[in-house]
Amino acid sequence: MKQARPFTITNARVVTPAGIVAGALRCAEGIIIAVGPDVAPQDGDEVIDARGKLVAPGLVDLGVFAVDKPAFHFGGITRAALMPDQSPPLDLPSRVGFIAKSGKPDLWVHPLAAATRALEGSELAELALMQQAGARGIATGRRWIADSGVMLRLLQYAAMLDLVVVAHAEDAGLAGDAVATAGEIATRAGLPAAPAEAEALAIARDIALAELAGAKLHLRQVTTAAGLDLVRAAKARGLPVTCGITPAHFMLSDLATVDYRTFARLSPPLRCEADRQAALAAIADGTVDVIASGHDPRGPEDKRLPFADALPGMAGAETLLAMVLTLVRDGVLDLSRAFDCLARNPARLLGVPAGELSEGLEADIALIDPDAPWIIDRRRMEATADNTPFDRQGAQGRVLGLWKGGVRL
C-alpha cells in the first residue's frame, strides 16, 4: 500500500530526538516531510487534529519470536525484528527472504538470521547470502553459543558484513535446565535454579570476543547487576556493545514466581529485587539501549503445566508501550529517551530508515494518549496467546492511531 495523499497532524506534542516539540508533522509519499512548530498543512492535505496528544515514532520491536499483527498494531509497533527460532529455523536465504516479505503490506518484518545451522551452535550458517535475502542482523536464538571458537568466527564474519550480532547471554553449562534464579525464593519453592552469575559469565566472554573481532554486539536481555556493570564498562571503553531488556525484568522480581504461575516463567528467569533495581538504574543512566517486548505467545499446551515443565515466554507486544510509559511517570527516563529505547536505537541497530520523527525518514507514526487508563486483561488480548505476567494490572497509555509508511492501519 502507498500513501494516497499527503497529510498533516496538527496540534500535537511531537516526540523528537531533541525533545518534545509542540507543533505539527507533515508526510507525503510515505516519507516525513516536515516536523516542528511552524509546520502547516498544504493545499490538498488531509488534516488530522492530535488534540494535544503525543505523536511518536512507530515502535521497532527488536527480538520477537512470532509475527502477531493484531497485537503489534494494538501496541503501536510498526516494525518487528523476528528471532530465527522458527520452525524451521531462519538458517537459509529462502526462509529469510520469505519472512522479510511476510508482514506486507501492514507491518515491517525484519528477519534476524540464524547464527549457526539449525541454531545448534556448531556450524556457521550462510550469513552473507541471508543478508542479501533481507536479514538485518544475526542472532544466536534462545541459546548461548558455548564454543568460543565458533562465536569468534561468527563475530568476525558479522564484522565483515557490518551486521549486528544479537546474543542470548546465559552460560548454558551453568543454567542447564534451571527455571529460576538461585536464591531464597527458588529454594523455598523447590524450583531448579541457576546462579545469576550465568549471565555475567556469558556477557564477559562475548564482550571479550566482540572486542577481538571488532564486531557490533547486542545483548538481547541483560537482567542482573553484574551483567549490566559489564556492559557499562564496555561502553566506557568505547566498544560497540549495546543491550536490551524487557518490561518483565524491570517491573517484576522473582517474587512473582512464588505462586508457581507459569506466565512468570521466562528466559532468562526473573531475578531478585536488587537486580530489578539495578535494571532500573541502568535504564536511567543509559546503559540499557533497547526496551523490547520479547513477544513470545505461548498457548495453554505450553503454559498449563507444572512450573518446571512449562515453556518460557510472554505475550508482550500489547503491554510494551504502557510499561515503558510507567517508567516515564516514575521519573526513570523522559519521553524522548523512552522512544529512543523503543524505536530510535533498535532502528539504528537494524540499519532501517525509521525509529524517529525526522525529515526524510519513513512515515511510521503512532498517535498516543499517554494518560488513557486501561486494565490489562488476558481474556481480551489481541495476541495469539494470553500469557502475560501483567494480567489484571492497571496501565496507562493507548495508541489512538498508527501509520506505516504514511498509510493508516
- Residue 21: how many other CB atoms lie within 10 Å: 18
- Residue 81: how many other CB atoms lie within 10 Å: 27
Quick one: cell of 146?
558455548
Rounded CA-CA distance 182/268 in Å is 12
Could you tell me which of 337, 327, 407, 325 has the C-alpha nearest to residue 368? Answer: 325
Q: Compute and round to an integer the Cα radius of gyration of the chain.
A: 21
- Helix, coil or strand: residue 170: coil
Rounded CA-CA distance 62/79 in Å is 8
The yes-or-no verdict on residue 352 having pLDDT over 80 is yes
- Give the whole-number percent of the chain exceeding pLDDT 90: 99
Rounded CA-CA distance 280/104 in Å is 36
DSSP state, residue 314: B
The yes-or-no verdict on residue 106 having pLDDT over 90 is yes
The yes-or-no verdict on residue 147 having pLDDT over 80 is yes
Following DSSP, what letter does each residue of 230-255 receive, concatenated? HHHHHHHTT--EEEEE-HHHHH--GG
Are the beta carbons of 386 and 379 closer than 8 angstroms?
Answer: yes
pLDDT tens digits, 66-83: 999 999 999 999 999 999
What DSSP element (H or E) covers 54? strand 54-57
Determine how β-strand 394-404 pairs with β-strand 365-375: antiparallel
Chain CA centroid to CA 335, Å: 17
The one-letter amino acid at 19: G
In the 3-class helix/strand/coil scheme, how is 259-287 assigned residue by residue? CCCHHHCCCCCCCCHHHHHHHHHHHHHCC
Are the beta carbons of 292 and 346 closer than 8 angstroms?
Answer: yes
The yes-or-no verdict on residue 10 having pLDDT over 90 is yes
pLDDT tens digits, 254-268: 999 999 999 999 999
Quick one: cell of 298?
505461548
Give the pLDDT of residue 211: 98
Quick one: cell of 214?
571488532
The yes-or-no verdict on residue 1 having pLDDT over 80 is no
Rounded CA-CA distance 103/77 in Å is 12
Q: Count CA atoms closer than 13 A to 199's CA, side-chain side.
A: 26
DSSP state, residue 332: S
Q: Which domains does the chain possess?
A: 58-354+382-393 (3.20.20.140)
Rounded CA-CA distance 35/249 in Å is 35
The one-letter amino acid at 123: E
Rounded CA-CA distance 51/70 in Å is 26
Give the pLDDT of residue 14: 98
